[in-house]
Amino acid sequence: MKKLLPFLLLFFTTLYASTTALPTLVPNGKIFLIYILIMLGILSLLVYYKRYKTLLIVKLEETPSGLKTLKPSLLKEAKERLSKIDRLKTLLKTLDIKPKTFEQALAFFESSKEEQVNILSTKLEATYQKEGEYYRVNLPEAFNLNSINSFLVYLSDASASSIAKKVISKQEKVLVLCESSEQNAVAKKAHEKTNFMIAPTVEQLTEFLLASDSQELLIEILADCLLAKEVSPYQTNGDIKNESNFFGRVEIIRDILGTNKNYLIVGSRQLGKSSVLRALKRRYDEHDHVEAYYITMDDEQILLEMQNALGLDESLELKEMVSYLSQKEKKSIFLIDEGDEFIVADAQNDYKVTKAFRKLAQEGKATFVITGFWTMYYYMTNDYHAPFRNFGELVKLGGLDDEACRDLMV
């Protein structure tokens, strides 16, 4: 609006001058005045739209999310145009893009090769080192694909065909970044999935640079370029951050988040139980009214693990800890992984801990989600008089169903 003020001022100044002078100079002054005003209005609008309202800006106003997939040159133009009409900050806020992230994305395309790798690694929370003409990016332990711990990055100004020939002969996973004019051609070759080449399209690269969770975007890029078995959501190290990769597990997470019940999740190893708990932890952390604690059990010492998680003195007795949790302002959510040994030990101690947990749950002071193997399942289904039997909702975590398997193959 500020940019339009000069044109409005010109418009009304001319209007005033015409109103006072034209009737004495021109016989049909009123008619002539109307023509003049219309022409001035049209001229003002033309100048405004010519200078500020380009087709790019009009499209972004209609579809703000389009900013995330602009080519580098258009991204730079968008910044200049949007800044002139004071719309840049508003648009970035709408898309939940931090101004610093936006500036970093713009800088990426004009940076040196090493600076580009540094930006890439920083967004992935990864480390990197130079290996000849390549850079090796080492992914963090929390990255959720067990088959990919690292990959090479190759940056080149050569043609798409030359790059593909060189990189494919490497016989190793290589992410390629090149000139914008060649990037989509390289990506098309990578999407054939007949080699180990990884290449985002220009649009994907912009989206990656502007994303708040770049690891999730990297997974999408990998899925476009690699075979399904190489981007399986299950892993031995880390957890699943992209919940679309849970397939059948999303429903379980949704059910748990939607109720105040306790849950007992049982199943064999490597079926994603820990990943479900970590996904729940991330979701609960977004809520101000609860505090979630993720606990991995190595033995039966559940009280000690809870005391450490809560930051309490290890000398506290069970009764004192229950009292502490009862007086907390926020509800506590305990996500306990591999709870079998604790349950066996508690069964031998008249289920004192289980009874305390159930009391806290009934009072609305705590919720417990416990994972385990078939030992936990046995105590829940065979000990008919045990309080553990009705402690919570039982979820048997099996393999993927037929539909989920088809999803994984796509």
User: Do 333 and 266 share a structural domain?
Assistant: yes
Cβ partners under 8 Å of residue 109, min gap 6: 72, 75, 180
**pLDDT tier for residue 237 given thresholds of 50, 70 and 90:** very low
DSSP 78-104: HHHHHHHTT-HHHHHHHTT--HHHHHH
User: Do 314 and 182 share a structural domain?
Assistant: no
**pLDDT at residue 176 is higher than 90:** yes
**pLDDT at residue 32 is higher than 70:** no
127 or 44: whose pLDDT is higher? 127
**pLDDT tier for residue 141 given thresholds of 50, 70 and 90:** confident
User: Do 262 and 148 share a structural domain?
Assistant: no
Q: Is residue 333 part of a domain?
A: yes
Across 35-44, 213-222, 382-391, which has the greatest mean pLDDT?
213-222
161 or 33: whose pLDDT is higher? 161
**pLDDT tier for residue 155 given thresholds of 50, 70 and 90:** very high
Q: Is residue 257 part of a domain?
A: yes
**pLDDT at residue 248 is higher than 60:** no
**pLDDT at residue 370 is higher than 90:** yes
User: Do 195 and 87 share a structural domain?
Assistant: no
Q: Is residue 380 part of a domain?
A: yes
Distances (CA, A) of 167 to 153, 163, 171, 352: 10, 6, 8, 62
User: Do 116 and 217 share a structural domain?
Assistant: yes
What are the tokens at 234?
Answer: 């299950």
Tens digit of each residue's pLDDT (9 = 90 or more) over 54-71: 788 888 888 999 999 999
Tens digit of each residue's pLDDT (9 = 90 or more) over 309-359: 999 998 889 999 999 999 999 999 999 998 888 888 888 888 999 999 999
User: Do 350 and 259 share a structural domain?
Assistant: yes
194 or 108: whose pLDDT is higher? 108
**pLDDT tier for residue 193 given thresholds of 50, 70 and 90:** confident
User: Do 338 and 202 share a structural domain?
Assistant: no
Q: Is residue 236 part of a domain?
A: no
Q: Is residue 121 part of a domain?
A: yes
Q: What is the pTM of this model?
A: 0.49
Q: Is residue 406 part of a domain?
A: no
DSSP 234-300: --SSS----GGGGTTHHHHHHHHHT----EEEE--TTSSHHHHHHHHHHHHTT-TTEEEEEEE-SSS
- Domain of 167 in residue numbering reads as 108-231
Q: Choose one of 163, 197, 231: the last residue of a domain.
A: 231
User: Do 366 and 249 share a structural domain?
Assistant: yes
User: Do 134 and 59 share a structural domain?
Assistant: no
